[in-house]
A and B are shown apart, each in its own frame.
Chain A
């Protein structure tokens, strides 16, 4: 089982500058755990108190995971996950 995860510039220091990495997991939560095991520190940049950080957007294929159950979103082989920093401010 293999899932492509696209990494934004700001998080590439964790992935040795790779724009895209492979991960495994049946849910988004499991994928993040797998990512963190291979790219230490990445998990903490995505999660805060066990929830997705407000400043980070995660998409499965083209859908915002907030509409797919968030961390419980089901992931299947061949899915593509895109992580993007929110563009926002005050």
Chain B
């Protein structure tokens, strides 16, 4: 398993994470159902507005899934930022992870590390985290 993602999306996610700092940012990238292709970026609002928690608003969540269904799309990537810790799933991230087919992307805005090195992707299935390689395309 690996994630292939365009540089434009990586840049947009990192930009969003800086813009929303000190809160965590979040969003998804959708693709045609069954394709595993990350093609349509959709930033989401962090309803928790918190530096240590993120949550899609339940109404936004329903709209997102309805929209994906209507477009015959699936959620390929679910991403969020960590503000002061490494881009690795927290215990809370693991407890909540409810999309076994999605790539869970984490970025970090912590200062001591260059942002480009803090874009990482994982599978989280039944509480087990598996990091996967990320290929950034032009």
Known contacts A8-B98, A85-B99; decide if A90 and B91 are in contact (CB<8 Å). yes
Specify which chain A residues have a CB less than 8 angstroms from the CB of B101 in the assembled complex: 9
> Chain B, interface size: which category?
20 to 34
- Mask, A44-74, CB within 8 Å of B = 1, is 0000000000010101001010100000000
Count of chain A residues with Cβ under 8 Å from any Cβ of B?
17
The dominant DSSP class at the B interface is mixed
- B95 near A87 with CB under 8 A, answer no
Residue A30 interfacial (CB < 8 Å): no
Residue B80 interfacial (CB < 8 Å): yes
- A89 near B97 with CB under 8 A, answer yes
Interface positions of B (Cβ within 8 A of A):
26, 28, 44, 48, 52-56, 58-59, 61-62, 65, 78, 80, 89-93, 95-101
* Listed A/B pairs (12) with beta-carbon separation below 8 Å: A10-B98, A59-B58, A84-B62, A86-B58, A86-B98, A87-B98, A89-B53, A89-B90, A90-B52, A90-B54, A90-B91, A90-B93
